[in-house]
Structure 1
């Protein structure tokens, strides 16, 4: 579902269909695979050999076959290849090397402002990624794909940021091309909240098909999972709730050019501005969290109201998409139950009971890990897609193809 590439002219290798069966990690014998696919055992053997040559599957421990000698079983070799997950935030960078099962092997974090521009930030990505690959004992040829989340709108087809408000110098920049020059692997780029939605669903809600992930920090946005699929919309801006107007605003200007956008009223910096007007020392989301945790009444009231404002917008979203779970992440959730209580207060009072009778509104369980987890899953989905497997098999010597 997250593939941005097309492979014109490539017929199905047959091995890709076999690989999709083995992706679940459960070992199977050749006979089991042949029966499941409805193919001759000799044909399945040829396809297994192609996948083995790629290093994607291999034999596991022997198991006793009924009435005969042990049968060899074949399974995914999750640790044979790796992907990179990259989470670029407004002021941070996180990179992880992950195996094909989503287990993080190495990880590193660096403070860097995205406003420094694409060359500075992506050079840091290259530096950290190279070091992590070395530390994990991997070669660049072991790298199958790179997934990246950025804090702004992205044209999904090209992976280029489009007019990102807090990313000066990034508009239209060829992020995939820059990194492919260094790593020679497919690069997938998406909005950070879409990435976080993928990460949170994979980590905690894999059985939920309709989920809304909401990030409230320096900015506000949401990632939409509907019928088990991440929804990006026609131009990649689905879920951009931060620029929906809210009624409680009093003409607050937003960096997008409009006034009273949710982001301008209820984000961390917006709440900090309101607290400064009350004479409190607050400039960032972290300052707001600090004041709330210290029990400051004005800060608690301001955070609760910010939650109500977010709840106002989410009430409309619930009526439109009817999620079963809303997961709230970002730095503002560090204020504890105050923020989410404000969301619940409005959502449950303004949305019809049928839409909320089973609705759960919860804090993110992945926390700061959601972004890098989702970026890794974006890369894994691409690397293990039928199209990519077909492409890799097609690149093998002709005698190895099935």
Structure 2
């Protein structure tokens, strides 16, 4: 009778180390006994999983608890400084890049004026060069890099990271952004719409317990990041939140870059607002110029910004009635021009939405301001690389490497 030989299984670290790690991500120190009580697992299983996480340097010891007799038990907690991620927020005319730890704390950052219309090759060459600069000027940056996330100002197919017919990004349609970046950095690369990552950044920084939030970016274009039930909503093809190309009720038939007329972007986007004020005889070219005049109490600038807020509010009122958010946050260059845009939004949203939907609704400006994008991008990739499944893969890869080294040493004896 032939003997069946079964190939040995690949060495694995303690199964479920990634699941245990999720309990420690809040940063609170816990002993093995406390972890056993929380999870219902045996102490031997907890010990093996803790050892695997210590080996990955994802957790560390942080002192000891009071002893009930014998040696005091050690406390273990998340070690966010053990690894780093890179984040990029690419707008139509600007970019902010950052290096963060695993808690999303910004270690270093840089910003520049970048024309997204220059195309993917030129733009991403600058991103790669700037990422390299951030890593080189921070000790251990390259050695600890674990992931990259990039936000772009257009619809993105989230599963592939490829832009999908973005109106203000000529030449970017279906371009392989992750593949291009991974030619230089061998780590996971995620790409999302810039407003989605801003919504994540704002929620993380200012509204961590809020389950239903809308983030509105008012800059060259107008877009919305939607968090509902605590989850970012991207839609079927990743185009959820493209508010700039919703027709404004009763709006003028102004042509829009998307090919339609009367879109919110054509009436209240940065270029439109600057054009409206210039038509009144003021020498302005950008939304920032409009904001500066408003800060000087220029009546015409204030009126133009207030009307832009009303137009945005007319479309947002429909979103409020449909999605019933508890918080609406306005960010982007135009929203940062002052309270005038936000005042216009409040005026129309509270008037046009149902009383129940606005009973506890908060409408305000961004707390994270221009750093919302990179904060959100870092959290996007951190959630990916620190998921239970991803941590288990890391632990198993480390166990297999150690086993291979042990086998090699044994054969050399």
Is the pair's TM-score, using the shorter chain for normalization, greater than 0.5? yes
Give runs of aligned pairs for residues 70-109 of structure 1, distance below 5 A: 70-109=72-111
Q: Secondary structure at the match of 1:313?
A: helix
Does structure 2 conserve the Cα–Cα contact (< 8 Å) formed by 1:288 and 1:299? yes
Q: Secondary structure at the match of 2:256?
A: coil
1:6 equivalent in structure 2: none
CA–CA distance in 2 between the matches of 1:207 and 1:134? 36
CA–CA distance in 2 between the matches of 1:272 and 1:135? 39
Shift of 1:171: 0.9
Does structure 2 conserve the Cα–Cα contact (< 8 Å) formed by 1:49 and 1:400? no
The answer to which of 71-80 and 223-232 deviates more is: 71-80
CA–CA distance in 1 between the matches of 2:140 and 2:345? 45
CA–CA distance in 1 between the matches of 2:364 and 2:160? 33
CA–CA distance in 2 between the matches of 1:200 and 1:178? 28
Shift of 1:67: 3.2
CA–CA distance in 1 between the matches of 2:250 and 2:304? 12
Shift of 1:339: 1.1
**Which of the numbers 188, 201, 204 marks the counterpart of 1:202?**
204
2:165 equivalent in structure 1: 163
Give runs of aligned pairs for residues 152-231 of structure 1, distance below 5 A: 152-231=154-233
Does structure 2 conserve the Cα–Cα contact (< 8 Å) formed by 1:268 and 1:288? no
2:343 equivalent in structure 1: 341
**Which of the numbers 304, 310, 313 marks the counterpart of 2:315?**
313
Q: Secondary structure at the match of 1:397?
A: helix
1:50 equivalent in structure 2: 52
Normalising to structure 2: TM-score of the pair? 0.91
Shift of 1:11: 11
CA–CA distance in 2 between the matches of 1:205 and 1:400? 42
1:247 equivalent in structure 2: 249
Aligned residues: 392
Shift of 1:214: 0.4
**Which of the numbers 282, 297, 305 marks the counterpart of 1:303?**
305
Does structure 2 conserve the Cα–Cα contact (< 8 Å) formed by 1:95 and 1:107? yes
Bigger relative CO (Cα 8 Å, ≥ 6 apart): 1
Per-residue CA deviations over 1:307-349 (Å, capped at 9, x if unaligned) read: 1111100110000000011001111123322111111111111
Shift of 1:30: 1.4
Does structure 2 conserve the Cα–Cα contact (< 8 Å) formed by 1:34 and 1:41? yes
Q: Secondary structure at the match of 2:85?
A: strand
1:232 equivalent in structure 2: 234
Q: Which has the larger radius of gyration?
A: 2
Q: Secondary structure at the match of 2:304?
A: helix
Normalising to structure 1: TM-score of the pair? 0.94
Q: Secondary structure at the match of 2:150?
A: strand
The answer to which of 92-101 and 200-209 deviates more is: 92-101
CA–CA distance in 2 between the matches of 1:375 and 1:12? 30
Q: Secondary structure at the match of 1:34?
A: helix
Shift of 1:398: 3.9
Shift of 1:352: 1.2
1:365 equivalent in structure 2: 367
CA–CA distance in 2 between the matches of 1:53 and 1:123? 36
CA–CA distance in 1 between the matches of 2:15 and 2:233? 29
Shift of 1:179: 0.9
Shift of 1:35: 2.4
* Uncovered stretches (5+) of structure 2, i.e. residues with no partner: 1-11, 404-413
2:258 equivalent in structure 1: 256
Q: Secondary structure at the match of 2:124?
A: helix
1:286 equivalent in structure 2: 288
Shift of 1:163: 1.0
Does structure 1 conserve the Cα–Cα contact (< 8 Å) formed by 2:254 and 2:267? yes
The answer to which of 118-127 and 252-261 deviates more is: 118-127
Shift of 1:223: 0.3
2:396 equivalent in structure 1: 394
CA–CA distance in 1 between the matches of 2:144 and 2:74? 26
Does structure 2 conserve the Cα–Cα contact (< 8 Å) formed by 1:140 and 1:183? no
Q: 1:325 to 1:231 in 2, by over 3 A?
A: same
CA–CA distance in 2 between the matches of 1:89 and 1:219? 10
Does structure 1 conserve the Cα–Cα contact (< 8 Å) formed by 2:13 and 2:52? no
Q: 1:11 to 1:236 in 2, by over 3 A?
A: farther
Q: 1:393 to 1:301 in 2, by over 3 A?
A: same
The answer to which of 272-281 and 235-244 deviates more is: 272-281
Q: Secondary structure at the match of 2:223?
A: strand
Shift of 1:399: 8.7
CA–CA distance in 1 between the matches of 2:263 and 2:361? 26
The answer to which of 264-273 and 291-300 deviates more is: 291-300
The answer to which of 136-145 and 202-211 deviates more is: 136-145
Does structure 2 conserve the Cα–Cα contact (< 8 Å) formed by 1:194 and 1:223? yes
